[in-house]
Amino acid sequence: WFPKYRATIVGIIAAGFGCGALIFTPIQTFIINPNSLTDLTDPSIMARVPDAFLILGGVMLGLQIIGFIICRERKVVDTEEAVDQSASENDSKINQDEEYANAANSVKLVQKSYTLKEALQTIDFYLLWFIFFCNVYGGDVCLGDRYLSIIATLSSAFNALGRVLWGLIVDHFSFKCPYGVLTFIWAVLFATFPAIGISSSSSSASAGANVTSPCANVTVPSALPYIYPVWVFSLFFLLAGHFVISPGAAGRIFGPENMATIYGLIFFATAPSSLGLAAIISQFQIAGKWIEVYESAAALCLISFTLSLFLKDKSGTCARASDICARACNVCRPIADEDEEKADGKYDADYFTDVPEI
């Protein structure tokens, strides 16, 4: 529908994920745990879970049905003027000659769309795949169910807003520079996240101002409830960019024709990534080892940052410094740069070779 603003439109559509959590998180909390009980195994909470599934599932089903009803394909409008059948043969020849002359000057080059086979033969596909694979994160703090519900709701708002803003950024600056900035800042936030509790604990201990958490036998620093949301909101804002920049990169590198299939294969990286993370959690006791957890997440983000330097971005406006990295991988790209642009489909190759002599 909007070929010039693909990333922005993807961001607006993807913002539905954030808006969904923004709306349903407080409803879910109100249905399941209206009294903000800290013991999540309480029988009263467990008894409300089946009803919550039925209520939320029914609402979502209704919204999906409405969405399918109003969804439609874009109609292709033929803007070319019909040929006047009543024109004289002489006038037709003159018009045809003028069209040949104008076509050579006005024809536009469009990006070649990679086939699935061609995409799998390029290094950019695997760079994007491993970037997607490495961008994982997790966390756990004891701050009370109602408080965390508020944080989750506001985080969803940042998530939704971030997807739209990152889409605008990609449409204006392409994908490579935003991807590098995102993964680097993401790594910094992950690396410093554990320091929030340490610094808050130190400052609170010196002032003697610790407050008791709703969680039993756990003392939470008084500054943590104020500093923690800043990092969480920032992390979710960057997370939003990850799911907008990736499809934008796939579309700009591989073209629009097979973009959905190619991006689907790239998105498949979340499957082994999630399975690997689940295997690690099941085999190792990570509770209380949050410094190691977040430092590992920061390391993965730095790996993603390094991989993003080797992506090819011909339309990037602020990625010149990393062009040497991208050119180093040209040997792994079967299609040369000069072959990636072709004449607009309105004119075929023979159109300009069979020009009649005037």
Domain of residue 28, residue span = 3-70+115-332
Is residue 280 within 8 Å of 289, Cβ to Cβ?
no
pTM of the model: 0.67
Q: Is residue 146 part of a domain?
A: yes
Pinpoint the alpha helices (H) of the chain. 6-32, 43-70, 89-106, 116-120, 123-134, 145-173, 176-207, 224-254, 259-267, 270-283, 290-308, 323-328
Q: Is residue 28 part of a domain?
A: yes
Dihedral sign of CA atoms 275, 278, 283, 288 in order? positive
Q: Is residue 92 part of a domain?
A: no
Q: Is residue 226 part of a domain?
A: yes
Up-side HSE of residue 268: CA atoms within 13 Å toward CB? 9
Give which of 296, 290, 318 is closest to 201, Cα–Cα. Answer: 290
Q: Is residue 343 part of a domain?
A: no
- Report residue 319 as tokens: 């990625």
Backbone angles phi and psi of 191, in degrees to 5: -65, -30
Q: Is residue 30 part of a domain?
A: yes
Using DSSP, state whether 109 is helix, strand or coil. strand
CA distance linking residue 222 with residue 294, whole number of Å? 22
- Report residue 41 as tokens: 């195994």
Q: Which helix (H) or strand (E) holds 37?
A: none
Q: What confidence score (pLDDT) does residue 315 get?
A: 76
Close Cβ partners of 179 (under 8 Å, ≥ 6 residues apart):
131, 245, 249, 308, 311
Q: How many domains does the chain have?
A: 1
Q: Are strands 211-212 and 219-220 parallel, antiparallel or unpaired?
A: antiparallel
Q: Is residue 346 part of a domain?
A: no
Q: Is residue 356 part of a domain?
A: no
Dihedral sign of CA atoms 325, 269, 67, 71 in order? positive
Is residue 309 within 8 Å of 172, Cβ to Cβ?
no
Close Cβ partners of 62 (under 8 Å, ≥ 6 residues apart):
none
The per-residue pLDDT string of the chain (358 residues; one tens digit each, 9 = 90 and over) reads 677 777 788 778 777 766 777 778 788 888 888 887 777 788 888 888 898 899 989 988 998 899 889 888 777 654 444 444 444 445 554 455 555 445 444 445 556 778 888 888 888 888 888 888 877 543 344 445 566 667 767 777 788 888 888 888 888 888 888 889 999 999 999 888 887 766 544 444 444 444 443 343 444 445 666 778 888 888 888 888 888 888 888 888 888 888 888 888 988 888 888 888 888 877 877 777 778 888 888 898 999 999 988 988 877 777 677 778 888 888 888 776 666 665 454 444 444 344 444 4
Q: What confidence score (pLDDT) does residue 98 get?
A: 54
